[in-house]
Amino acid sequence: MSCDLCGKKGSTRKTRIEGVTYDACESCSSLGVDASPMVVKKKTFSGMRDTQEQVVENYSTLLRTYRENKSFTPKQLAMRLGVKESILLRWESGSQVPTLQEAKKIESSLRIPLVVKQENAPPGEYTTVESTSSQGFTIGDLLRKK
């Protein structure tokens, strides 16, 4: 393919200039608007945010307060949750953190909020772009290689 505008041989792209579509080279295409049907403007951001679930920090207080409010003995509450009394006591004292699965189970059976969702920024925001100039490489070098 050669450029309709300057005749330069190489890769061209459909470019619309004043209502006429040309096959234009890289430099001429900047004179018009991209008319290529292939180009679909897509945001790099996927729209999927990574949410991470965590057991709340005050799980022990929540559990103990709940039990005391309901006047349950540790054994009664442990049975209700289907866990050993010793485990419940460890949760209440804060010496053991319930797993996410356990916390969810407690949450649904006792209706106390034990799991929080933490939103992580999309990974793209933290990726660093390596500077090509640090390697003695410029965009101009890349273009000349074509």
Residue 77 CB: number of other CB atoms within 10 A?
A: 22
Q: From 57, 55, 70, 75, select the one nearest 110 (Cα to Cα).
A: 70
Per this entry, what is the length of the chain? Answer: 146
Identify residues 7-26 at the interface with Zn ion (CB under 5 A): 8, 25
Task: Please report how close the Cβ of residue 8 comes to Zn ion at its closest, in angstroms.
Answer: 5
The nearer residue to Zn ion, 36 or 86, going by C-beta atoms, is 36
The answer to whether 32 and 55 have CB atoms below 8 angstroms apart is no
**CB of residue 15 vs Zn ion: minimum separation in angstroms?**
9
By the rule CB under 5 A, 28 interacts with Zn ion: yes
Total residues binding Zn ion (CB under 5 A): 6
DSSP label at residue 126: G
Copy the structure tokens of residue 120.
Answer: 């992580």
By CB under 5 A, tell whether 6 contacts Zn ion: yes
Shortest distance, position 29 Cβ to Zn ion, whole Å? 8
For binding to Zn ion (CB under 5 A), which residues are involved? 3, 5-6, 8, 25, 28
